[in-house]
Amino acid sequence: MSQQLPRRDFVKKTVGAFGAFTIVPRYVLGGPGYTPPSEMVTRAVIGTGRQGMSHVTSYPKTLAVCDVDKNHLASALKKAGGKCDGYSDFRHILDRKDVDVIHIPTPPHWHSLITIMAAQAGKDIFSEKPMSRFIKEGRAAVEAVKRYGAVFAVNSRHRPNEVNSLRKIIKSGVLGPDAKVDAIQHVKGWFSVARKCGRTDLQPEPVPPELDYEMWLGPAPYRPYNAARVHYNFRCYWNTAGGGMLDRGQHQMVKPLYKLAKEDTSPVKVEVNAPWPSHPDAVTMWGWVKMTYADGSQIILESGEWGEPLPDMTKIREGTKEYDNTKLTPEQEERLKDVPDERPATVAFEDAVKMRDDTYCSQPNAEAAHRGSTALHLANIAIRTGRTVHFDPVAEEIIGDEEQNRYVHGPMRAPWHI
């Protein structure tokens, strides 16, 4: 995080030297309704389309905005006002010492790469979901955040803000290292699957003059321009995103991962029900996903938009979100009493930036966000290959299936790389 104190000291010295004749903006001095620069977390917003505009605040909180669409950039500059600077290449922003946090509401194929470069530049990061477009770039982003001491959060406000008994039991280790957890987290609906399916009849179109399509694509595998691919529609195609599974799924995974204490691991088996064959370019429909973890606990996602319901749902009935039949022996219950309650995840992101600790941020930090997106990537891999996925959550490799494992590793279009 860049240091703001010298700027405040400069203001004090200026006032002292020139007295009452100096005109100093009210926001610099602080007071009711104003935050002085020494306490303000400044931002630059990279990607200012539909979702990106919600990240743009008025100057001086937003110091810079960036977009490869000239119309989007003009709208963002107007909203920020003041002396906010506009850029078409985000790399110029990373050199600025006065920017504390990089906001990344770009399409998903840029999220991890910009996260890595921002961390290397000494910035903190607030990213839109999903965290990544494929698993290995997500892991690279996590490692960069750790290596450079960045504070990170993905924009999903669903982490429970109270102590959860099942999470406490699992995290405490009182069940023993080989214990099985008889618990299911069930999520149905709100994935917008049909809305985020791509078109299969796209033809090349001229690139509009306001859009730098080459930079918009960046690391994403090349596809000819069509208006149905860009801006909101990027969600609908494999080269830039992963449909409703990734887009809404990152939100939907937050609570299950937290409650099952799986924010630092991934499922070992992922089964799906979806049409086969899938389309090589356009995201298509799916019905349900069953994710099984090493301890036997499961997360089940149902779209409610395609196919038959998941069979053998005797433990989970319609409308039920949780099932927990985890049993403790009297000895385990006594041991659990000595385990202190974990601090709830209630810290706002900007407070986490000031504290230099995102452990208890109300939004998922880098590891938790990566594990959530990884589970969803595995589901999409199962959809694209038509086969159940068997995954090693430590090595983060798919076991025994070379074709599936290629999706874990990319690709990324040159010259961009991790």
Structure confidence at residue 104 (pLDDT): 98
Whether residue 218 is found in the same domain as residue 276: yes
Whether residue 134 is found in the same domain as residue 204: no
Under the banding of pLDDT at 50, 70 and 90, the label for residue 174 is: very high
Whether residue 216 is found in the same domain as residue 286: yes
Range of the domain at 241: 165-408
Whether the model clears a pTM of 0.85, i.e. scores above it, the answer is yes
Domain boundary among 106, 133, 154: 154
**Six token digits for residue 35:** 């935050």
CA distance 373 to 411: 17
- Edge-first strand order for the sheet with 124-127 is 85-87, 62-66, 43-46, 101-104, 124-127, 152-154
The CATH number assigned to the domain holding 299 equals 3.30.360
Cβ-contact 124, 151 below 8 angstroms: yes
Whether residue 113 is found in the same domain as residue 184: no
The CATH number assigned to the domain holding 20 equals 3.40.50.720
CA distance 8 to 18: 16
**Six token digits for residue 109:** 């194929």
Under the banding of pLDDT at 50, 70 and 90, the label for residue 26 is: very low
Under the banding of pLDDT at 50, 70 and 90, the label for residue 38 is: low
Separation in Å, CA 394 to CA 18, 140, 247, 259, 332: 62, 14, 25, 20, 28
Residue 418 lies in a domain: no
Structure confidence at residue 35 (pLDDT): 60
For residue range 230-257, list pLDDT tens digits in order: 999 999 999 999 999 999 999 999 999 9
**Six token digits for residue 176:** 């023993």
Q: How many CB atoms lie within 10 A of CB 394?
A: 9
Name the DSSP letter for residue 34: B
Is pLDDT of 332 > 50?
yes
Whether residue 194 is found in the same domain as residue 258: yes
Whether residue 29 is found in the same domain as residue 102: yes
CA distance 68 to 418: 21
Q: What is the domain count for the chain? A: 2
b/e map of 181-211 (b: 16 or more CB within 10 Å)? Answer: bebbbbbbeebebeebbbeeebeeeebeeeb
For residue range 150-170, list pLDDT tens digits in order: 999 999 977 888 889 999 999
